[in-house]
């Protein structure tokens, strides 16, 4: 069983319009709603890969009820979300079908009380007793301490559970010092953390700050991974256009599934890149185009000892 933690869950709402033009009215051609937040997206991809997944975090209000209701229809995903008084946020994606671009609007999330945070800690530590890996994903809702992920990383390490951290800003800076097994920042998050815009230098610097393995997401250029065993660059065989929302979460699912299956790093990275690209081709976050994934996986180029271009 794999555990994903989404402290700031969401109901992801995607609107499709033929062409998005500021300051005008639009006729929406399609609306989809899915359980959202990075960890829930990761969980759905893991389940689609055949892994059993438990999800935890906070949910509340009518939006939270909608998230939980939709999770009951997701095979392979166990709901261990914690109810809170505040209302779960919504994230709105407006997909422009003419350009392939997506505009994202993210609400802040509910304010978490100290009692709710303490209750979550109890649930989390109990879940750690029965899982093979954990992913800590996304932003922190208001009220949660900025060092929250550092504490959750330390709890996982104490329990002997491999932990992947995917967040940004100060939560990443503090969390990485707790020595997670893997961190997966994108290029901008990595530059903010280290002050360097050179991906290889920044990735090495992030390792020195505590992470065992740093996997940098370079967008359409793929992934760069550095650890004590070496460094690898994985790139998709072609550029894909579509909705990039959730592509990074699918990459996390690829890395995490590769970890629990004990795949060599080149295979983990190839899977992560193929899943990420196949997610861009899917209509909503937390899903991927299965046929495109199989085709891309065979053609991902993984180079050992390569520097970022």
Pairing status of strand 89-96 against strand 53-59: unpaired
Distance in angstroms (rounded) separating the CA atoms of residues 308 and 306? 7
Nearest to 89 by CA among 64, 69, 68, 66: 64
Pairing status of strand 30-36 against strand 182-183: unpaired
How many Cα atoms sit within 13 Å of 34 on the Cβ side? 22
Distance in angstroms (rounded) separating the CA atoms of residues 231 and 214? 10
Nearest to 135 by CA among 70, 43, 216, 207: 43
User: Is 249 assigned a catalytic role?
Assistant: yes
User: What is the token pair recorded at 62?
Assistant: 């009518």
Considering 12, 96, 166, 249, which one is annotated as catalytic?
Answer: 249
- Within 10 Å of residue 177's Cβ, how many Cβ atoms? 15
Dihedral sign, CA of 137, 138, 142, 146?
A: positive
Phi, psi of 237 (to 5 degrees): -70, -20
Catalytic residue numbers, as ranges: 249
């Amino acid at each position: 069983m794999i555990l994903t933690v989404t402290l700031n869950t969401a109901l992801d709402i995607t609107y499709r319009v033929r062409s998005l033009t500021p300051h005008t009215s639009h006729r929406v051609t399609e609306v989809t709603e899915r359980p959202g937040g990075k960890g829930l997206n990761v969980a759905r991809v893991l389940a689609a890969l055949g892994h059993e997944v438990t999800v935890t975090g906070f949910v509340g209000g009518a939006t939270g009820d909608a998230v939980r209701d939709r999770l009951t229809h997701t095979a392979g995903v166990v709901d261990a979300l914690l109810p809170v008084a505040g209302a779960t946020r919504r994230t709105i994606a407006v997909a422009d079908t003419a350009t392939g671009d997506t505009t994202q609007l993210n609400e802040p999330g509910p304010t978490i009380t100290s009692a709710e945070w303490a209750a979550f800690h109890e649930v989390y530590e109990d879940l750690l007793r029965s899982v093979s890996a954990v992913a800590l994903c996304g932003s922190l809702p208001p009220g949660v301490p900025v060092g929250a992920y550092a504490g959750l990383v330390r709890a996982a390490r104490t329990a002997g559970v491999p932990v992947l951290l995917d967040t940004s800003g100060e939560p990443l800076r503090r969390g990485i010092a707790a020595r997670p097994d893997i961190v997966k920042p994108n290029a901008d998050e990595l530059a903010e953390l280290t002050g360097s815009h050179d991906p290889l230098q920044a990735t090495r610097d992030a390792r020195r700050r505590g992470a065992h393995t740093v996997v940098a997401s370079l967008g359409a250029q793929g992934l760069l991974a550095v650890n004590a065993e070496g460094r690898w660059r994985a790139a998709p065989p072609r550029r894909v256009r579509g909705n990039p929302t959730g592509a990074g979460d699918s990459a996390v699912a690829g890395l995490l599934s590769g970890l629990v299956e004990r795949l060599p790093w080149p295979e983990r990275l190839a899977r992560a890149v193929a899943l990420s690209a196949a997610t861009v081709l899917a209509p909503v976050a937390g899903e991927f185009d299965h046929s495109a994934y199989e085709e891309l996986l065979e053609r991902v180029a993984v180079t050992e000892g390569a520097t970022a271009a």
